[in-house]
Amino acid sequence: MKAEDKKPSRRERLAKKIKTNLSMTVRELFEQIDEDRSRPKAMAYFDSIFKNFTGGGENVVQVPEGQKVIGTYCVFVPEELVYAAGAHPVRLCAGTYESSEVGEEYLPDVACPMVKSEMGLETMPILDFYQKCDLVALPGSCHWKLKMAEMLEERKPVHVLDVPRIKERENSRQYWLEEVKNFKAAVEKTTGTRITRKTLKGAIRTVQAAQVEVHRFFELRKAIPAPILGRDALAVMNAYFYDDVSRWAAALAELNDELEQRIAEGVHVAPASSARILLTGSPMVFPNWKVPMIIEDLGGVLVADEFCTSQRYLSDMVAMDEGTLNDMMMAIAERYVLPCSCPMFSNTLERRDKLLQLIEEAQVEGVIYHILKGCHPYDIELKMMEKLMQDKGIPMLKIETDYSPQDVEQLRTRIEAFQETLRGRRRVQ
């Protein structure tokens, strides 16, 4: 009996192998990233989170003994409620190719790579914080996520949030408010702490303070020439998934100060001649930096993005009005759904306006629309966005890919040609 305990099972061996592969991917990625000598110094903090990603990483979900960890997916889980209950939220949306194979055991071939990757991480001991969660909050935003919740239910406590698809209606808003209240109850049950007016207000303030830096960051990114690469910006926002909110915000404030100084001194990461590109579409999570790495290696620069893992995640703030618990709950509920430009909603109005606004403000020359194979919501909206860009005369490149490194060369060729087009357009103008 004892001997058997010591001997790792087949599954454990597999998990270990995946973990080793993942560490190697991360190391290789950083070898490439570190080649760039013009990166802001303040990026070191965010690198420390990712460099030792598999080993738990510095600042990755470091919680004191006894503090509860609540895993979240998508952009619809109100984190203020988690903070108010004294728990630590960690966003579990994943970008690891290595774990996808495990996920395929549970999901059909056509499932999106993100949900495959997540299923792998949820069911195998690869990354610590997936196993640490005392509760996993899963919004039923797309059907992959909704069914994933059901598959996970037998393994760990799961709370599903049903996000209404039509946000312009009174009944959907009431329904969503009830859903947020249900989530509050679930968090209270998990943590054993009651969320009060005071704790909730404090939590809102904490998140708002971080968002102030986020706003500053996205403003600074728009400068010409670009003071920071888009992949680094994605990493900064991605680090929020795992880090403590206030510590992260302080690190971002430091980065912002450095970027401000860079802009004043004219220090840049890409010359003014680089094509200014906006990236949108299916989310990108570390270490799936495939597309941004290619774009920026080829001399382009990502000056804006419209991802739920980045801009969309933290842009909108809770607006408090009267300060009662109910009022705050309503403000929180509305903040997570109403201004959200996720394609799961019935209209594309918010997304159109957001894209056009970003394009104008960041002086974007071309848009790259990233679709993960099997990510239906973004796939469905493609044609509409294509038409919008055509009408506005902005070149757009569609890239359909997954987490595997197989198509890198092919993507490189297409992105190179696209950037050549953008440069050609500039010469004509």
Partner 1 sequence: MNVQRLRLISQFVFFVLLTYGGLFAIDLGSRMPTFSCAFVPDNGGSCFLIGFQHMLSRPLPEFLGEQGIRLLKSLGIVALWAVVINKAWCGWICPFGLMQDLLTRLRNLVFIDMSRFGWVTRKRYKSVKYILLALLILIPLGIGNGVPGLSRDWTAPFCQMCPARPLMPLFRGDFSEFHIDFSSWPGLALTTIAVILVGLLFTSAFVKRRFLCSYCPMLAVLSLFDKVGFLSLNKDGQKCTRCGNCSRACPMEIREIEEEKTLSNLVTQDCILCLKCIDACPENQALEARFLGMPIYTASAEGFLKRQNVDLLRLKRKKKR
Cβ neighbors of 413 (< 8 A, separation 6 or more) are none
Residue type, 353: D
Q: Between 297 and 350, name the residue whose CB sits nearer to partner 1.
A: 350
Binding part of the chain for partner 1, among 117-125, 134-142, 243-251, 297-305 by CB under 8 A, reads 243-251
Helix (H), strand (E), coil (C) string for 226-248: CCCCHHHHHHHHHHCCCCCHHHH
Strand partners of residue 369: 280, 398
Residue type, 286: F
Shortest reach from residue 208's CB to partner 1, in Å? 5
CA distance 217 to 44: 16
- Nearest C-alpha neighbor of 127 from the set 242, 29, 239, 237: 242
**Strand, helix or coil for residue 329:** helix
- Residue from 63, 356, 408, 411 in contact with partner 1 (CB under 8 A): 356
Residues 38-67 binding partner 1 (CB under 8 A) are 45, 48, 58-59
Say whether residue 76 binds partner 1 (CB under 8 A). no
Shortest reach from residue 244's CB to partner 1, in Å? 10
Say whether residue 293 binds partner 1 (CB under 8 A). no
Q: Between 116 and 354, name the residue whose CB sits nearer to partner 1.
A: 354
Say whether residue 321 binds partner 1 (CB under 8 A). yes
Say whether residue 330 binds partner 1 (CB under 8 A). yes
Binding part of the chain for partner 1, among 85-93, 151-159, 209-217, 226-234 by CB under 8 A, reads 209-217
Token digits of residue 420: 């050549």
Residues 128-187 binding partner 1 (CB under 8 A) are 168, 170
Q: Between 210 and 285, name the residue whose CB sits nearer to partner 1.
A: 210
- Residue from 223, 253, 382, 411 in contact with partner 1 (CB under 8 A): 253
User: Look-up: residue for tokens 């001194």?
Assistant: 265
Range list of β-strands (E), 323-416: 366-372, 396-401
- Residue from 15, 107, 203, 249 in contact with partner 1 (CB under 8 A): 249
**H helical segments located in 240-375:** 245-265, 290-297, 311-314, 325-337, 349-361
Helix (H) / strand (E) containing 376: helix 376-392
- Residue from 223, 317, 394, 408 in contact with partner 1 (CB under 8 A): 317
Strand partners of residue 69: 88
CA distance 148 to 376: 16
- Residue from 267, 320, 382, 408 in contact with partner 1 (CB under 8 A): 320
Shortest reach from residue 158's CB to partner 1, in Å? 29
Contact mark string toward partner 1, 254..283, x via CB under 8 A? x-----------------------------
CA distance 424 to 218: 28
Write out the residues near partner 1 by the rule CB under 8 A: 45, 48, 58-59, 168, 170, 197, 205-206, 208-210, 212-213, 215, 246-247, 249-251, 253-254, 316-317, 319-327, 330-331, 334-335, 338-339, 349-350, 353-354, 356-357
